[in-house]
Chain A
């Protein structure tokens, strides 16, 4: 298995909702990442997990809460989001921080 699987592919949520994005990989990668990408912009790093521990938080608002239950899974819990949080959320994994990344197909999030 050489893929990073993200679910759901699309999500529409209200500003008072709580939802979660899920990411799964079975390549044995020990580093996993969440990125946010706005239209026609490059991805922006949000969080990095290394060996299931949060190693980097790029000053992301607390309404985004990451979780790494095990070495294959990465979640992003969403609560009280704003319309400007609407974007493509990408998960990626790599063998280590300097190795090539495998990106998932992303979750298209719309906050209404």
Chain B
């Protein structure tokens, strides 16, 4: 069964600190892997999208990595800000069909 699992389920960090969110997937075949940020009550906003051949992609303070051999991805957030508080969702595309993870709820405290 195609699945996307994220960890941790929730995370609290202090402003200015770094953090790493994990995503493991069993989706096969695999087209691409996406990370989205979703503020409460708003639509998801795309952070990165990576294909099979890409190992890392950055978007400002966000850096995503992908290991297609172990079917693992991570999202690293550098120098966190209060505005980073949101749900981060890992999404894997199986030929256009999106498989969503349950998300990691990140809370950045002052």
Contact = CB atoms under 8 A, between A and B. Distances in A.
Interface centre among A96, A97, A98, A102 (most CB of B within 10 A): A98
A6 B93 CA distance: 24
A8 B99 CA distance: 27
Contacts, number: 45
A98 B95 contact: yes
B43 interface: yes
Interface in B86-110: 89, 93, 95-98, 100-103, 105
A45 B41 CA distance: 17
B103 A42 contact: yes
A92 to B, nearest CB: 8
B32 interface: yes
A104 B43 CA distance: 6
For chain A, which range describes its interface: under 10, 10 to 19, 20 to 34, or 35 or more residues? 20 to 34
A76 interface: no
Main secondary structure of the interface of B (DSSP, over half): strand
Q: Which of A45, A92, A103 has the most CB of B within 10 A?
A: A103
The CB with the most chain A CB atoms within 10 A, among B31, B96, B97, is that of B96
Interface string A70-112: 0000000000000000001010100011101111111010000
B34 interface: yes
19 contacts: A4-B43, A40-B103, A40-B105, A42-B100, A42-B103, A43-B44, A43-B100, A45-B98, A90-B43, A90-B44, A97-B97, A98-B31, A98-B96, A100-B34, A100-B46, A101-B46, A102-B46, A103-B43, A103-B46
Interface of A: 4, 6, 40-43, 45, 88, 90, 92, 96-98, 100-106, 108
